[in-house]
A and B are shown apart, each in its own frame.
Chain A
Amino acid sequence: MDAGCQSISESRRSINEMRVFDPCHLPASFDPEVSPELRAEYVRNETRRQFFGKMVRGLGGAAFATLLGDSLLGSIARADEPKPVPPDWRLPNFAPKAKRAIYLCMAGAPSQLDMWDYKPSLANRFNQDLPESVRGGQLLTGMTAGQARFPLAPSIYKFAQYGKSGTWVSELLPHTAKVVDDIAVVKSMWTEAINHDPAITFLLTGNIVAGKPSIGSWIAYGLGRMNENLPTFVVLTSKYYGNAQALFSRLWGSGFLPASYSGVEFRSVGDPVLYLRDPAGLDREARRAMLDGIEKLNQMTYEEVGDPETHARIEQYEMAFRMQASVPELIDFSKESAETLELYGPDAKIPGTFTYNCLLARRMAERGVRFVQIFHRGWDQHDHLPKELVPQCKAVDQACYALITDLKRRGLLDDTLVFWGGEFGRTVYCQGELTASNYGRDHHPKCYTVWLAGGGVKPGIVYGETDDFGYNIVKDPVHVRDLNATILNSLGIDHEKLTYRFQGLDQKLTGVIPAKVVDGLLA
């Protein structure tokens, strides 16, 4: 942000009531790498917040956050419309472990058998039939046509134990293996959906049929924002190698929640936020003059008509102007230390890679973005699994390690929940050609592996077990609903109490079928 424009925008604050800013209110997550400009911006925001506080927007606590979430970047509501006020509860429901979450969504279903769920006894069963007793009449996708039998395909990757926890990890994840003592590996995830679209919709919205709010929207609705100039819920999509299904903007949509709780997609091509950049040839001062004119004219309109929405319009344009400064600062990695960049590896400099997105997510976490969702697709290895899985793992492995490590050394891991996982698992039996070096795996909803870390999660554990074939759960099953209840729990939300009245019902992320918080995963 250039100095000239700052002074103009600063002067504009005179319309606000300036108050003494208390630096103690800087969030703990502001680390030394945060630029003085950003700090100054934060101070200004705090001032504005106080100004708005006078305008019935509360200070502190969840009500405050929720209202800001509703009223600012997400949306500037008509002043005359009732705000969607949470019912008779206040969030958080109890002391949160995590204030924010980073959700690494491995869309397409990574093969748990080749990455996490070590099954040494399968080695001797290469190409043997999966016993019918194990399969138990399990529904198949129908894609496993072209084969009358279900030959076992043991993983060709070597596994070893790592860390104090001795967690088994395959050679595909050499970096992630270094942080196993910081994460909780769940081998007993399961879901009901067997196809991608319903399954990922289920994972991210708690319902197989599209149209319900996404988990990020629920959290944005429940907890509100921590930064006025950045969205509360950001979505990042990443480059991938393998077979990838389509994504849908409704996967981060707000469903029946107000649209302002939708995820905002940051793009790796062109402007990170659509049309963020002013056209070439227009400098910030001219832009400022333009907006000043618009505001004066809008103020006249307000005097003429008296519609409070005109004031919302004025604020909308101001926020856009501020965002034009805050987003470029956010994506400017130039002040990241060499050591940090090295931690993440060379991909950190390539926009659109999963690694770049992880570093960006850390920066967003620092700046108070509540929920960052990074999609990495291409995990759908129906055939030629080895060929595709190696580069897929390579694309996320070091980044996951670096993200955990980076958050931890900055003291952010304690109050940031990190989730890694996909919509279901993959079958132990082969789909397509089976040779000593080649195989594929079909969809498998009955068990799969995910991991969680940070904010309230018990580090260095493995939760749940599967049978010798990696086909059925034998201990501590965790359903998608339970996972969502647990994620909400670590953010201080009782999943039974985070509700929104729609079609006469108090709707919940976890739906009507009972869900339980997985206590065994929580510290």
Chain B
Amino acid sequence: MLLLGVAVILGFSSRASSEQKSKQKPTQTASDRGSEKLSFNETIQPILSENCYACHGPDPGARKAGMRLDRGDFPFLPHEKDGEKSGPAIVRGEPDKSPLIWKIEAKNPKDRMPPPEAHKTLSAEQISLLRRWIKEGAVYEEHWAFIAPTKVALPEVKEKQWVRNAIDSFILARIEKEGLNHSHEADRRTLIRRVTYDLTGLPPKPADVDSFLADSSPDAYEKAVDRLLASAHYGEHRAHYWLDYARFGDTTGLHQDNYRSVWPYRDYVIRAYNLNKPFDQFVVEQLAGDLLPAENVDQLVATAFNRIHITTNEGGAIPEELQFNLVKDRVETFSTVFLGMTMGCAVCHDHKFDPITQKDFYQMSAFFNNTADKFADDAIAAPAPFVTVPVAEKLAAYNAILSERAGVERKLIARQNLVDENIRAWITSGGPNELHRVSPEKLVAWFPLDEGKGTEVHNRAANASPESYQIAGVAPHWDEKTKFWPSVRFSTGTFLASPSVGDFESTDSFTVAGWFQARQLPQNGGVSETGALLSRMRIDGEKRNGWDMYWDGATSYDKEKKPQKVDGDTGTIDVHLANAGPKNEVLVRTKQRLGRADWYHIAFTYDGSGHASGIHIYVDGKPQELEVVTDALTGSIRTDAPLQFGKRTDAEPLREARYQDIRVYARALDAAEVDALANEDVVKGILGRAPERWSEDERKAVEDLYRLRFDREAGTLRTQLAEFDAKLKELETGGTPSLISRERATLPRSHTLDRGVYSALKERVAPDVPQVLPPLPNGVRRDRLALAQWLVSPGNPLLARVTVNRMWQELFGTGIVETAGDFGVVGARPANRRLLDWLATDFRESGWDVKRMYKLLVMSATYRQSTHVTPELLEKDPQNRLLARGPRYRMDAEMIRDTALAAGGILSERMGGPSSKPYQPAGIWEAVNASFVSDRYVQDHGDGVYRRSLYTYWKRTAPPPLLETFNAPDRSACLVRRERTNTPLQALIVLNSPDFLEAARHLAEHAWHEAGPEEDARLQFMAARVLSRPLQNRELDVFHNALSVFRAHIQTEDGARTLVTVGDSPVDATIPPQELAQWTLVASQFLNLDEALTK
């Protein structure tokens, strides 16, 4: 017994390893054969990457002995580690003289490579391949996927008559080379069923099968294909794949997991496929439709692609950490979906296998780091920015305006592209002379906060004492929410206090000013959302003494003037001058409310009069209308409280605010001075130096000011844009918000992070594409649009390959490259690289014609083969990688449920709109919902229960259980290849869930009425609907037998009634319940057949 066990284990192990080998077999055997030189890419790189790259690959942090084997530049040079020099690892043509070979062949395990801790062993065969490769000259090649594909000539095949299109030449050449035979064409019923599923996700209607069978014309199949490609269901089916890639869900996925309004994006995807939008356009719109600029609302809706990652509103979230995690998701999704690369690996260190550096990752992240969204989702359905998609009647008018607007915006962009020239001309013509600096007279404090790192900041006012301050408590975060330079954020526990600055009396005149960004944190409710921007204020119980400039989030007050309701997103600016507030003080408040996420220059001046009338508040240099709340100050406002950022001496710190260019003057500036302070003073300082010496931030500051103040034409264009925006807003009434991407006006920059830790900023980087790929064109503005256009440009080696590979995977079950999301060094090799390259090139040359590509695939003889598996094929190609037979596999969750609904005749045809909530067992959401979330699953009624599964509401913490059980993902991250497992839980769903039982009952009702009284006729009716074919006699017998058991067991009307009343729809009262129940079970048998679940 024990012996048997051991034998079985061994038996399995050897089988497993032969299977693993067979995985690589198609590529290896091809190159091993004959006297052809070994290919580095096909044979050697897989051995080296698997066994050596982790320590001798692209990541210098992990590199051992200074030796690098992944690229040809290194192994032939001497290398050095810790001062110790070694010779080259490989001597071309001389395996016996190559230390690499000595190492892998070392007798003593201590000396042998790979070392024991790597848990890897080279086989004798692998060692001999390495020897042979070195002997043949050790030629390195660039990784195959980074070399642009070319349209290679079609290979010669023996059986030319089998070939229907180019695909077949490539496939057949391989099959013939392996000494196998292709399969015959599938019978016509199988074919129409297969292609209908692949193009629409639904079973063919029996009438469609019949008319296809009746059409004996040679192009009958092609006509059917064209009909299916024209069906609206085509777009729905394609979309269910794309929504996995784009990680689309109806909720935020973290913390409260609230609803958010993005379903218009789902409909955009469906529409794009149905309109056969060229794929390059589809890609550009999703990545950067806002920057095109958008000429219709779809191009804006498309940009939800960058927004539909998971988000949170957790109160303690740290903004930088959150932003980094979300930007990382954007980069990972981008690189997985469009490049087939795993860039996430380079977050912490240079990629261990692919030539992707850590810097590459962060340069890519800079493209996605400059969007205007706040990152925390505020637990609302449409956190800004969003577009309100107008109702259908207004859509045409809306798009017309948007199109006109785009024309104006293009002019503005064109002007911006000329900005260098214009600024030069402006400087030459003495324009800067118009700019004003503010006199430094009585400037007592100037904190530019441009240190960029660390905890020491400087007071740069002349004769300041002290000149520098240590920030206490929680370290401040420096990052890229730039105004003039990389900005700084103070946490609640961050303290910057100066006892010596701002010690003013109520009779002194003074000015306090600076750039502020109130906060980008999650909204949490509560009065703590208010607080001092800058203060010198002592709070003693209810009393306050001193002065402050205060962000006030309250929207209403009680009789005692205490704040009541608070708006988490906007606030007024209050100025307090208090002897003993709130009674003895002056309190004035701006009428305008400011947004939290934006930078504002905020200033107040005070003339020493002791009255409210002596205070002026300015925002962005403009004087504000003020409300005088209290004007009852007598006596002194002096206090021993220090000048503090974001705090007073009590509670209510202004949480997590940003500060820049903070100034205090011991005099009241006049309005012109404040205006200059906001806009001109800093820039005038920059203009004092030669442009060549400007930093990129300084150049940006000059450009911004020039555009704002001096480019009159741009001003006119901006005014026009605002007019369009007002018209658009009118048309939005009654529409649906949908999240979009929008670029901020700041420089798109990022920092490399030490080990990927959000707070460990290293080098500042500008947006760029990975160095191993073709560069961005010169002179292009580096934003998401440039990235998108680079992606679809002809020189990009990856996009077309990765895309056609996924199309192939959708139809054939497995891609030509099995690892659809990883075309890198450790990804699978293409089973047929020439075919992949041919398809990629063809796809691009066709103008990225998506329908044409799907048509090409389904028209091929390869696709049309029978799925019959012979023992020979099972032995030689168990996974069907060579495609000597047709594709056969269990369908996706959506297809399985939709099949049942279609077979039962209850599938709703309604397309698009808000997501639907079909049947769901009680308690699914409640089991995971946060206690403070009241969202409950409220099932739809009417056609909401019967809509196609891709419209099902996708709550990411608890995805639709029926779909999830069949391997649909939770959509919390991009997924380009679903797993396909078989579990008993799936069987229980098809057997027992109301979706399937109700569909079965409807199928039974239809059969009862439409097929007549004969049992066989009813069974054949069901077979036509579910299997698209008639049953054979032996199959009919099985059903008859089952029916007789059902008849014996379902005899009472009551029992039968409970069985047939599953679901919302009324029961057909014209059929005796017992009989309906019996036939419902038969129908259920049909839906549970392997053949029904399998495509």
Contacts and interface: CB of A to CB of B under 8 A. Distances in A.
B1081 A286 contact: yes
A145 B492 contact: yes
B200 to A, nearest CB: 23
Given A249-B958, A283-B1049, A140 B493 contact: yes
Given A143-B315, A195-B316, A248 B957 contact: yes
A58 B870 contact: no
Contacts of A247: 927-928, 957
A250 B1094 CA distance: 28
B340 interface: no
- Categorize the interface residue count of chain A: 35 or more
Given A85-B13, A244-B931, A305-B868, A278 B992 contact: yes
Contact of B1090 (A64, A78, A209, A310): A310
B225 to A, nearest CB: 24
Contact of A67 (B12, B20, B871): B12
A144 B475 CA distance: 16
B649 A148 contact: yes
A387 interface: no
A249 B928 contact: yes
B232 interface: no
B383 interface: no
Interface in A56-93: 56-61, 63-64, 67, 73-78, 80-83, 85, 87-89
Interface string B291-326: 000000000000000000010101111100000010
B11 A194 contact: no
Contacts of B890: 309
Interface stretch (A27-35, A260-268, A337-345, A405-413): A260-268
A276 interface: yes
- Categorize the interface residue count of chain B: 35 or more
B1093 A313 contact: yes
A474 B980 CA distance: 50
Nearest to B983: A75
Contact of A505 (B54, B928, B1041): B54
Interface stretch (B155-163, B792-800, B820-828, B851-859): B820-828
Contacts of B1049: 283, 285-286, 289
Contact of B983 (A76, A142, A285): A76
B888 A305 contact: yes
Contact of B997 (A53, A60, A61, A279): A279
B315 A59 contact: no
Contact of B923 (A267, A280, A323): A267
Contacts of A506: 119
B722 interface: no
A210 B247 CA distance: 14
Interface in B1-38: 1-2, 4-5, 8-9, 11-13, 15-16, 19-20, 23
Interface stretch (B624-632, B651-659, B724-732, B741-749): B651-659
B874 A286 contact: no
A283 to B, nearest CB: 6
B804 interface: no
A443 B959 contact: no
Contacts of A324: 988
Given A142-B492, A289-B1045, A306-B870, A197 B314 contact: yes
Given A58-B9, A275-B991, A246 B651 contact: no
B524 interface: yes
Contacts, number: 338
B1071 interface: no
B1093 to A, nearest CB: 7
B965 interface: yes
B9 A145 contact: no
A317 interface: yes
Contacts of A73: 983-984
Contacts of B992: 275-279
Interface in B629-688: 647, 649-653, 655-656
Given A249-B970, A504-B49, A298 B1089 contact: yes
A358 B1038 CA distance: 46
A237 interface: yes
Contacts of A320: 984-985, 987-988, 991
Contact of B1077 (A82, A246, A259, A281): A281
A267 B15 contact: no
Contacts of A63: 9, 12-13
A417 to B, nearest CB: 25
A273 B1093 contact: no
A210 B54 CA distance: 24
A245 interface: yes
A317 B569 CA distance: 55
B989 A274 contact: yes
B906 interface: no
Contacts of B1070: none
A206 interface: no
Interface stretch (B252-260, B275-283, B545-553, B766-774): B252-260
Nearest to B981: A75
B983 A301 contact: no
Contact of A142 (B491, B826, B1088): B491
B970 A141 contact: no
Interface string A394-413: 00000000000000000000
Contact of B982 (A211, A275, A316): A316
Contact of A76 (B13, B342, B982, B1056): B982
Question: Counting chain B CB atoms within 10 Å of each CB, which of A76, A145, A309 scores highest?
Answer: A145
A306 B653 contact: no
A163 interface: no
Nearest to A443: B316
B106 interface: no
B1088 A279 contact: no
Interface in B576-634: none
Nearest to B925: A246
B39 interface: no
B983 A316 contact: yes
Given A73-B983, A146-B652, A250-B972, A306 B12 contact: no
Interface string B911-940: 000000000011110111111110000000
Question: Counting chain A CB atoms within 10 Å of each CB, which of B53, B352, B1049 scores highest?
Answer: B1049
Given A59-B5, A506-B119, A264 B985 contact: yes
Nearest to B1045: A289
A44 to B, nearest CB: 16
B865 to A, nearest CB: 12
Contact of A258 (B54, B979, B1042, B1062): B979
B474 A148 contact: no
Interface in B859-908: 867-871, 874, 878-880, 888-890
Nearest to A313: B1090
A503 interface: yes
Nearest to A76: B982
A146 B888 contact: no
Contacts of B650: 148
Nearest to B1087: A294
Contacts of A137: 473-475, 493
A296 B1042 CA distance: 11
Contacts of A195: 314, 316-318
B868 A304 contact: yes
B964 interface: yes
Question: Counting chain A CB atoms within 10 Å of each CB, which of B325, B348, B965, B982 scores highest?
Answer: B982
A286 B1050 contact: yes
Given A82-B20, A246-B257, A280-B1059, 5 more contacts: A59-B4, A140-B474, A197-B312, A308-B869, A308-B874
Closest 4 CB pairs of A and B: A141-B316, A504-B826, A269-B923, A281-B1059
24 contacts: A57-B12, A76-B981, A78-B980, A82-B23, A85-B12, A85-B16, A137-B475, A197-B312, A244-B931, A248-B928, A249-B928, A249-B970, A258-B979, A269-B921, A269-B923, A281-B1054, A282-B1050, A292-B1042, A297-B1089, A302-B1090, A306-B871, A323-B988, A377-B931, A497-B119
